[in-house]
Structure formats: structure tokens, C-alpha cells
Structure 1
Amino acid sequence: MVPVGFLAVLFAWPVAAIIGHGFAEGGVFTVLADDQTWRLAGFTLAQAAASTVVAVLAGMPVAFLLARVRLPGIAVARTLVLVPFVLPSVVVGLAFRALWPDGGVASIVLANAFFNVAVVARTVAGLWAQLDSRAEDAARALGASPWRAFRSVTLPALAPAITSAAAVVFLFCATSFGVVLMLGGARLRTLETEIYLRTVNLLDLSGAAALSLVQLAAVVAALALGALARRRRETALRMRSPAVLARRPAGGQWFVVLAAFAVLALLLTPIAALLLKSVSTSDGWSLAGYRALTGHGADGTLAVSGWEAALRSLRTATDATVLAMVVGVLASVLLVSLRRAPSRVAHATGEAMDAALMLPLGVSAVTVGFGYLVTLDALPGDLRTSPLLVPLAQALVIIPLVVRMVLPVLRSVDERLRQAAATLGASPARVWREIDLPLTIRSVAAAAGFGYVVALGEFGATSFLARPDSPTLPVAVSTLIGRPGELNNQLAYAACALLMLVTAAAVALIDRLGSASGHTAVGEF
């Protein structure tokens, strides 16, 4: 009941309340009939589709590098490709602003693709590493060119993983908030940023509710496609024998390897641009931005210092991670139990709950945040004024990631071990403690670390719920970048560099734990 209750009270209820308010005001159907609404929807889907295509094209060579190539430095490349996926959206937005100060559609598409190359690379590599290369070698021996052998033999086998990755990337790009807000400004808006504008600036609940309905329909479609593709990928993995060992590339494979390293170099470009921007001023190189972290920005722009905002981020991320781990691990145990049950009803319930747990990734964070302000006063203690308000919203984002990391490992535990322990008199709690926990502890630890860095950089819901006197670091960065003054600009870039370095260090540890357990959040979406 804990995961079901958490989702019902802290997700379904606030979202339903906002949509209900919109219908009550009577403007939903007017907004749905407005051509501007469908132009926004069209741009949202178009930029998401373009970003998905770029991410897939860039991720495929990297997937080959990770799955089939044995060269020095592959472990570093495996970690490096994961860093953009967990970088805060504010960091990525500012990094691309350093490259494209004027923003635009191209910068939005490339920034979203930058975020999601890891999803394609790690998801496809997971299946590619399990493919028997002898089928492709046989096609080559029969006279097929390397491209034809790949197109006719390997690509169809990889289709489930590519489709699964593309569905997830499309979902993330369609609901992108921080990147579009930073690079699109007032000129380019998606459904997500328009919901934010109508809710926060215009208090147009009916318009926001209508846009939320359109966005929710697209999200459900993407989740359904992603779930279908994920089941096909899991089936493909079960049907494959352990892979042939990675080997040094030969012949035309070197072009693919070079393309993969070119992609990795391009992934480093925005990061390098951000670091350079953090130490450059109109007078030359300077560490003024980093020194300003102890202050409140130019003319007291911030209510707290940069370091205080960073500490607030650390505390909030800790609270959110603890909440998400409790709910996410319990949900994973429940889903495994439902899948092992002999009843078809239990299986169907498990599938429905698995899909429901993914919904918070696709529903507007602004909708959820405003829903909290509308509904949570009805609960004892009025959570709207509680310090737990922001961690609760961030936990909603982390829970799907925790489930996707822990659930596959729990499913892989041999049921015969559990049955043998139960036969020898172990209670269910002891079976979990003695069998399940030792086999899943690395994955649980990696999920906690992964959730922590995601919460550390969460911007969508936090930007709406955080109070001015207690901002997190991403919210402080957003405030600084919108204010005039070179010191504010330097402080914003220095804070982003700090966030990025902390994230990169955490990802290195997470990837080590995830590799040891065989699963990562990216690889299991």
C-alpha cells in the first residue's frame, strides 16, 4: 500500500485537482480548439522527434564501441557517455548558451540529444553485447559488404533495443523544461514551458489544464510504445546466449570507432565551453565567479549565498533520495511478487502499476507542483509550508529511475533459492534479508546514488515550489542568469561548474556499482 498510496496522494490527486480546476473554469475546450495550442503541440513533437533522431544516430556508434570493441579507455568512455544524462538541465542549458548565445531550434535539438545519447548508447549496447557475431560473420563470408551484413543481420536483431531507447528519448525530449526555458526564451515554447507560463505568470488554470491533457496523451502513447519495446528487448536478451568477447576492431570497423570517439568529443564540447565561461570575463581570465559563491550575487540578487544554496541542494536531495528509495524498492518488490503470482489478474495489475510508476517522468512538473499548492492543505500539518514539499516533488521524479534499476535485478534472482530457504523454515523477511538483499545490494546502492544526482539537479518542480529564501542551487542559477551584471553571470556559471563536477564524480561511482551488478537506470529503461 505504500507505493500505491504515495502515487495516489502525491501524484494522481494533485494532477487530477489541477485538471478538475481547469474544467471547472470552463476554458479547457476553448483552449483545445485554439490553433495556437496545436502549433505548440506540433513544435513540441517536432523538436522531440528531431532530437530523438540525432540521439539515435549519435548513440549507435557509441553503442558499438561499448559492446563490441576491446581497447584501452573503454571503461572511461562508458562513464563519460553517462555524465550528460544526469547533468542538471540548468547546467546543460547554460553550457549550450555559451556555444549559442542566441539559442534557437538547433540549439534546443542538440541540447536534448546531448542529454539522451547515453540512453541510446547504453540501452542498445546492452543487447548488442549479447548478440552472437557468428551470424554477421557468416553473411560476410557469403559476400555481403559490412554495411549490408549490419543492415540485414545485426540491425533487425537490435530493433527492440533501438525502439525502446527511442521511445524513452522521445518522452524525455517532449517534456524537456530547463533546456527549452534557457535556450528558447520567449520565442520558442513547448507544451511544458507554456504550462509553466500559463500557471505561474498568467494564472490560467484552464489553459494549463488543457495543455496538460494534450501532453498527457502524448506521454501515455510514448510510455505504451516504450513498455512494448522493453518487453521485446527483454525477450531478445533471454533468447540470446552469452556474447562473443569484445575484440579489437578490424577493417571498416575503425570508421565506426572513430565516429564513436568523435561523438564523445562532441559531448565534451559544451562541458568545456561552460568551464571556460566560468573563468572568463570582459577583462580576461578570473575566478571572481567562484569567489562570489560566498556572497549573494551582485546587489543582493540572492537571499542566500551560493554555498548556502548548494548545502540546501544537498539536504533536499538527501531527503528526496531516502523517500524515493523506500517507495521505489517496495514498488519493485511488489511488482516482482505480482509477476511471480500464477494469477493473470496479478500479472495485469503488475503491468498497470509498472506503467503508472513511469507517468511522473512525463507529466508536467509544473502541473504537479501547482497541484500540491491546491491540494496538500487538506492533509494534516499542511505540507505546503513544510520543508518536505520540494523533496516530495523530487522523489516523484526519482522513483521511476529506482524501479528501473532495482526491478530487473530482483527479477533475475533465482526463485529456486528463495523456495529452498522457505522450505528450510525461513520467514519471508529472512528470505529477503538472506537471499534477495545480498544479490541486489549493489543495484540498490547504485539506484540511491543515481537518484541523488538527479535530485541534486532537478529544476522543473523545484523552480515552482522552492521559496525565495531557500532556493536550491539550480534555482539560484536560474535566478542569477536572468539578472543583469557580469558578476551574476560569472556566479551562475561557477555554480553550474560546481554542480557538474559533483555530478561527474557521483556518476563514476554509480557506474562502477552499476557495472558490477550488471544494470544501470539507462540500460534498463
Structure 2
Amino acid sequence: MERRHLSLSPSAGRYATLLALAAVPVAVLAVFFVLPVIGMVGRGFRPEGHWDVGGVLEVLRRPRVHRVLWFTLWSSTVATAFTLALGLPAAYVLHRLALPLRGVVRAALLVPFVLPTVVVGVAFRELLTGPLSWLSIDGTPTAIIAGLVFFNVAVVIRAVGAAWEGLDVRPAEAAAALGAGPFTVFRTVTLPALRPSIVGAASVVFLFCATSFGVVLTLGGLRYASVETEIYLLTTNLLDLQGAAALSLLQLTVVVTLLGIGARLRPQRASTQRAPSRPRRPRLADLPQLTVTALLLIFVAAPLAALLVGSLRTEGHWTLANYRALTSTGSHQALLEPVTTALDLSLRIAVDATSFALVLGLLVALSVSRRGTGHREGRAERRVRGTLDAFFMLPLGVSAVTLGFGFLVTLDRPPLDLRDSPWLVPIAQALVALPLVVRTLVPALAGIDDRQRQAAASLGAGPLRRMLVVDVPVLWRPLLASAGFAFAVSLGEFGATSFLARDENATVPVVIYRLIGHPGSMNYGMALAASCVLAATTAVVMLIVERLRVPSLGVL
């Protein structure tokens, strides 16, 4: 009998590899993201066990919902405009000019992005009720916008700065040689080249502003609510799941649209034939950009300095009493466990969440970036990879409040009864950190020249040997950097954790929010001290990430 030998074509083999790499992350997101979100939204559409789509649509006609939507739209737009106005000059200074301590300044401006949002809110409250109390803007939209700009300016600096640093200088040099002035060169050559990065960064900043939770909740309270904080209010205080479901769907629609814009505008892999410029010494013409960067540094340092000073003063005297009080439960038993216990728990949870996010992120990055060695990628394969990439970015676009409450309402029965599982919080935090991990690893993997793998294969190296010789030397720095981002983000995650953390097992951000909600100077001082500890921890992590010099926080 004739034997037929079946073999996969190169294209089929690549598809099989792609599906194998994506299988585990897809399954994890299906269980711990898609299922909770559908469960949360489903509770809103079926409040009494039957479909009530009209009730959900009725929510969108409420006057308060209109006010919430309008406030979210205009505050996010204004915050995005100010973020660009401050971030673009700083991106130029920190990526095109040779300055002393440039790396330290970049790391300092990156710290706000990974600070816990509740810490940002507490820091601005301390600044606006203390040294800047004469402005009388505490609890106003101005304070909220300032907090949003503080939190997101790093996105513009890193995304646009990395693109600016890698621009081919030859077109600008040619325009200058033909007599074009500096402004003309910028307007006709540099700005068109940077436009995708600028527009993409602006869309991401708007997304982060519109979905901000801790900053708006801490600085605006219930008077000024965004869509994110309104979902929290409707879910926890009013138990209005229909209203929360309607706003969650609306938010998801807007976010998916913005992610699509960001994907279309994301810069493609750079050509190897380019002549990027080296940083040059500042000139007199750079004075405006240097001035804006200096003002930005003051803007970033002021709330953190106010936070530190406030934590070291009690009743007008310098003291460490607030830090010593972290071993207690506060006045009037504000907490069930000391802050130091919460800090230890937060660190352990962050380690677990980082490990989980790294494993998932590496599998995702491999599935969306690896091409078959020596084979040209077809349109269908690009479409599959693009779809997977968009799917893995969806956690960025869903309210952390929706995700956290979805965990509670869906993972509450066998075989997925995880309400009492210690892994619930780390998994939620890992999903929040996953997009940053992926966006740090993908450019590094996509930038590896396949010819190096081909050369190693021609010399007899197997797949494992090729990975050790070609991939690992390029990937270890991005891996460490993504671990740093995931650790910092997990340590400060507040939205989903506020639902999932129990009173006796609260993380530091949740403890800080509880402390500022309890009356008493001791509780408030403890909140300031805990915020400083958390801010210092994330600052150290970001300094380490900056030392690795990995371009990150690009257009998501």
C-alpha cells in the first residue's frame, strides 16, 4: 500500500505556530476578561432575568449622564491639549539635546505615569490645600485637569521623543541646505514625520484621561464625576447595574475606536537605511523649549514635594510620627491591619502579578511579532496578527471598575468560584499591566533581523540555540523593563483592587483611600506617609527601567 507523507506548508506551519503561541493568552483573557465583562454587562441588560435593552438605552437619556459625558469629554480634551503643549517641547529637549543628567530627568518625568492614581490625587490635594491654597482651586475641574496632565505627560515624552530621536536627519539637512529656516524645516519636514506619533500619543492620552479613576475620584469627589467614577458610583452606592452597563458599553466603544486609531497611526518598523541624529549641544534658539521643560519639572516636583513635606510635619513641627504610625491601625481603628502589613501584601501581590503579566505578555508579543524565518508574510497572516494584537489590548479599554465588579459577579460559582482565592487580585492587576508589557516587548522582537536567525540555522543551530544566541541578547533588557512597568503598575492599581481586596487584606492604594476618608489628623498624616513610601518605591523602579534605556510607553 502506498504511504502518503503529510507535511505542513510553510504558511500552514506559521499559522500553527501562531495559534499555539496565542492559545494560552487567548484562553486566559477569555476566562478572566471577556467572561467578567460580559457577566457585568449582562447583569445590566437582564436585571430581572429577561432582556431589557430599552432600560439600558434609557440610561443614556438621563440628565446626570449627559453631564457626566460632557464633563468627561471636555476635561479629557483640555487635559490632552495641555499634555501635548508641555510634553512636545520636553520630548525635543530630552531626546535631541545633549544635557547633563538627561537620563535622570527622563526617569523623573516618567515616575508620575506609574504612580498610583490615588497617590497623585493625595499629592495634589496636599499642594492645593497647602502652599497653593490661595488659588482656591481644590475640588474644582482645574485641579482634576492638572492631575490628569501630571499623570499623562510621560506618554507624550516617551512616544514622541522616541520617534524624534530616531528620525532620519538627511531630509532636514537637505531642506536646510536649500535655504529653509529652522521653523520651515520643522513645519515641512520634521512635523509630517512626527505626525503619526503625535496623533497616536494624543489618542492614548485622551483615552487615559477619559478612563482615569483614582485622580478624578480623589480630586473631584462625587461633585465632578467622569464616566469611570460614575460607573463606580452606580455599581457600589446605587446598585444600578443597568446604568453601569450602559456607560461601560459606551466607554468600550469609544476606547476600541481610539485603539483602532492608535493601531493605524503606530509607526511601522523603521528602515535600516536611515541616519538618526545624535544629541547636540543646546543653542540659544532652544531656550523656549528648555524653559517649558524646566517649568514641567517644577510642575511634576511640586505636588510630590508637598506630599513629602506634609508627611514630615505634624501640628507645625518636623517629625517622623506619621511614618511611625504606619505600624498602627490609625485613630478610631480606621484600618483592620497596619499599613506595613498592607505594604508587605502589596509587594507580594505585585511580584505575583508581574510574573503572570510577563509570561502572558511574552507569549502575546511572540504571537503578534514573530514572522516565519525566510518567508514573506501574507495579507491574511497580517490580518490575524492585527486582530490578536487588538484583542490583547482590550483590557486597556475597559473600566477597571467594570473588570473588578465583573470578577465578583461571574467568578462566584464552581468551577470558577474564586472569590476567596488569593490569586484574584494578582490576576486582575496582571491584566491591567498586560498592555504595557506587550508594547514594551513587541518593538524589540519585531526589530530582530530574521537574517540573523537564518544564519544561525545555516550553521546548524536548532530553535533553542537560535533563541539563546539571537533573541535573548536583544530581549533581556526589554524583559527587565517590562517587569519594572508591570511591578509599578500592579503596586499602584486601585480601580479593580478596590472591589476585590477585602478589609483585612487591603493593598496600600486601597488603605490610603480609606485613611483619607476617615476623619482625624493622624489618619490623614498616615495617608501622606504611605503615599510617600509608595511613590518612592515606584520611583526607584522607574530609575532602574530608565537605566535599561528601553524605548517604551509608545503609542498603544
TM-score by length of 2: 0.89
Q: Do the aligned partners of 2:197 and 2:555 also contact (CA within 8 Å) in 1?
A: no
Q: Structure 1 CA distance, aligned partners of 2:405 and 2:337?
A: 24
CA 341–314 in structure 1, closer or farther in 2 if over 3 Å, else same:
farther
Q: Do the aligned partners of 2:169 and 2:275 also contact (CA within 8 Å) in 1?
A: no
SS in 2 for 1:179: helix
Residue 105 in structure 1 maps to residue 141 in structure 2: yes
SS in 2 for 1:248: coil
Residue 512 in structure 1 maps to residue 547 in structure 2: yes
Per the alignment, residue 315 of structure 1 pairs with 348
Per the alignment, residue 199 of structure 1 pairs with 235
Q: Do the aligned partners of 1:341 and 1:347 also contact (CA within 8 Å) in 2?
A: no
Per the alignment, residue 523 of structure 1 pairs with 554
Q: Structure 2 CA distance, aligned partners of 1:90 and 1:338?
A: 41
Q: Structure 1 CA distance, aligned partners of 2:355 and 2:151?
A: 25
Deviation readout 1:60-92 (Å, 9 max, x if unpaired): 111111121112121211211111111111111
Query: Which residue identity lines up with residue 309 of structure 1 in the other structure?
Result: A
Per the alignment, residue 26 of structure 2 pairs with 4
Residue 392 in structure 1 maps to residue 427 in structure 2: yes
Per the alignment, residue 209 of structure 1 pairs with 245
Q: Do the aligned partners of 2:95 and 2:164 also contact (CA within 8 Å) in 1?
A: yes
Residue 170 in structure 1 maps to residue 206 in structure 2: yes
Deviation readout 1:360-382 (Å, 9 max, x if unpaired): 11211111111111111345362
Deviation readout 1:470-521 (Å, 9 max, x if unpaired): 10001000000000000000000000000011111111111112x1xx422x
Residue 20 in structure 1 maps to residue 42 in structure 2: yes
Q: Structure 2 CA distance, aligned partners of 1:503 and 1:248?
A: 31
Q: Structure 1 CA distance, aligned partners of 2:94 and 2:242?
A: 48
CA 240–362 in structure 1, closer or farther in 2 if over 3 Å, else same:
farther
Residue 234 in structure 1 maps to residue 268 in structure 2: yes
Alignment of 1:158-307 (within 5 A): 158-230=194-266, 233-234=267-268, 237-238=270-271, 241-307=274-340
Aligned mate of 1:383, from 405, 418, 423? 418
Q: Structure 2 CA distance, aligned partners of 1:299 and 1:85?
A: 34
CA 407–141 in structure 1, closer or farther in 2 if over 3 Å, else same:
closer
Deviation readout 1:290-341 (Å, 9 max, x if unpaired): 1101111112111111100100100111111111111110111111236877
Deviation readout 1:381-420 (Å, 9 max, x if unpaired): 6211101111010010111111001111111111122233
Aligned mate of 1:441, from 476, 479, 499? 476
**Structure 2: runs of 5+ lacking an equivalent:** 1-22, 130-137
Alignment of 1:315-464 (within 5 A): 315-337=348-370, 342-380=377-415, 382-464=417-499
Query: Which residue identity lines up with residue 283 of structure 1 in the other structure?
Result: G
SS in 2 for 1:234: coil
Aligned mate of 1:49, from 56, 77, 81? 77
Deviation, 1:253, is 1.3
Aligned mate of 2:526, from 469, 491, 502? 491
Deviation, 1:135, is 4.4
Q: Do the aligned partners of 1:161 and 1:229 also contact (CA within 8 Å) in 2?
A: yes
Query: Which residue identity lines up with residue 495 of structure 2 in the other structure?
Result: G
Q: Do the aligned partners of 1:164 and 1:229 also contact (CA within 8 Å) in 2?
A: yes
Deviation readout 1:105-158 (Å, 9 max, x if unpaired): 111111111111111011111111123445445655666554344233322221
Q: Do the aligned partners of 1:361 and 1:400 also contact (CA within 8 Å) in 2?
A: yes
TM-score by length of 1: 0.94
Per the alignment, residue 114 of structure 1 pairs with 150
Deviation, 1:424, is 4.3
Q: Do the aligned partners of 2:103 and 2:547 also contact (CA within 8 Å) in 1?
A: no
SS in 1 for 2:504: coil
CA 186–240 in structure 1, closer or farther in 2 if over 3 Å, else same:
farther
Per the alignment, residue 95 of structure 2 pairs with 67
Greater helix percent: which structure? 1
Query: Which residue identity lines up with residue 211 of structure 1 in the other structure?
Result: L
Q: Structure 2 CA distance, aligned partners of 1:511 and 1:385?
A: 38
Q: Do the aligned partners of 2:204 and 2:258 also contact (CA within 8 Å) in 1?
A: yes
Query: Which residue identity lines up with residue 11 of structure 1 in the other structure?
Result: F
Percent identity for Structure 1 against Structure 2 = 48
Deviation, 1:255, is 2.3
Q: Structure 2 CA distance, aligned partners of 1:458 and 1:131?
A: 35
Deviation, 1:182, is 0.1
CA 46–379 in structure 1, closer or farther in 2 if over 3 Å, else same:
farther
Query: Which residue identity lines up with residue 53 of structure 1 in the other structure?
Result: A
SS in 2 for 1:455: helix
Q: Structure 2 CA distance, aligned partners of 1:418 and 1:21?
A: 50
Q: Do the aligned partners of 1:405 and 1:524 also contact (CA within 8 Å) in 2?
A: no
Q: Structure 1 CA distance, aligned partners of 2:220 and 2:376?
A: 49
SS in 1 for 2:506: coil
Q: Structure 2 CA distance, aligned partners of 1:3 and 1:442?
A: 22
Q: Which moved more, 1:248-257 or 1:492-501?
A: 248-257
Q: Which moved more, 1:486-495 or 1:146-155?
A: 146-155
Q: Do the aligned partners of 1:82 and 1:507 also contact (CA within 8 Å) in 2?
A: yes
CA 422–364 in structure 1, closer or farther in 2 if over 3 Å, else same:
same
Deviation, 1:32, is 2.2
Q: Structure 2 CA distance, aligned partners of 1:36 and 1:341?
A: 54
Aligned length: 518
Q: Do the aligned partners of 2:112 and 2:151 also contact (CA within 8 Å) in 1?
A: yes
Q: Structure 2 CA distance, aligned partners of 1:145 and 1:273?
A: 43
CA 126–381 in structure 1, closer or farther in 2 if over 3 Å, else same:
closer
Q: Do the aligned partners of 1:338 and 1:350 also contact (CA within 8 Å) in 2?
A: no
Query: Which residue identity lines up with residue 68 of structure 1 in the other structure?
Result: R
